[in-house]
Amino acid sequence: MSADPSAAATLQAHLLESFYETASLLARGSSEADICQNLLLGSLGSAGVTKGVVLLQRDEGIEILASGGRAIDSGALPRNAKLGPELEGTLARDTPLARALVEMGLELGIGMRIADRMIGLLCLGKTISGDPLGDVPLQYLRAMACFHAVSIRDAQDCARLSTINDDLERRNTELQNLFELSKQSAATIEEGEILDLL
């Protein structure tokens, strides 16, 4: 059975629209939260879902970067949780994190991957119609999750570079101040005193 050409065209149009939107966000120096919010809003609208969250993996555990809908409580998530492949697809209650997400009314997990590494998870609740998502919407959501994962990595790289740049500017200012102090000190010492010191 061949794919529906109109569905494929719609998917491509959504991908291009979201690409330009996210590229625009990055061009404005957007944060991880901005990019995650863009992913969540686009996903809720395209999938016809009223509830969802975007989780990012941190060294110390996971963090909710964007959420929409009622009963989303970041405090209900287990501490030091790790994102893994068991959270992709229909959410089961086989891990503490999956149980917490299901209790929030979420039922579908879509991994945000860069190569084989999951850096985040898009979780969605039921559709407004109550019907399961079809192959084309799922394909779109998976593509968008991976695209936004790359955007988040780029935003993290930009933030790190900005921190390094700020540190270099601070050090440069300190060196300039020391140079000025050295010049002022040198101006107060007589030539004979300098020769005596040498």
Amino acid identity at 175: L
* Cα–Cα distances in angstroms (integers) from residue 111 to residues 29, 44, 163, 177, 189, in the given order: 24, 16, 29, 50, 68
Query: What is the C-alpha R_g of the chain?
Result: 25
Residue 112: its pLDDT value, please?
Answer: 92
**CATH no., domain 5-153:** 3.30.450.40
- Which residues is 122 bridged to in the sheet? 54, 110
Domain boundaries along the sequence of the chain: 5-153, 162-197
The pTM is what? 0.69
Residue 145's φ and ψ, nearest 5 degrees, are -60, -45
DSSP state of 127: B
- Which residues is 118 bridged to in the sheet? 113
Q: Which two tokens stand for residue 5?
A: 């050409």
β-pairing, 117-124 vs 61-68, is: unpaired
Residue 110: its pLDDT value, please?
Answer: 93
Residue 2: its pLDDT value, please?
Answer: 47
User: Whole-angstrom Cα distance, residue 129 to residue 141?
Assistant: 18
User: Whole-angstrom Cα distance, residue 27 to residue 19?
Assistant: 12
Which residues lie below 8 Å from residue 37, measured CB to CB, with a gap of 6+?
Answer: 54, 65, 66
pLDDT tens for the 198 residues of the chain, in order: 445 667 666 666 666 666 666 656 555 567 888 888 888 888 888 788 888 999 998 888 888 888 887 767 777 788 788 898 889 988 887 888 999 999 888 999 999 998 888 899 999 998 888 888 888 788 888 888 888 888 888 777 777 787 888 888 888 888 888 888 877 777 776 655 655 655
Q: Do 30 and 146 touch, CB atoms closer than 8 A?
A: no
Residue 109: its pLDDT value, please?
Answer: 93
User: Whole-angstrom Cα distance, residue 23 to residue 87?
Assistant: 28
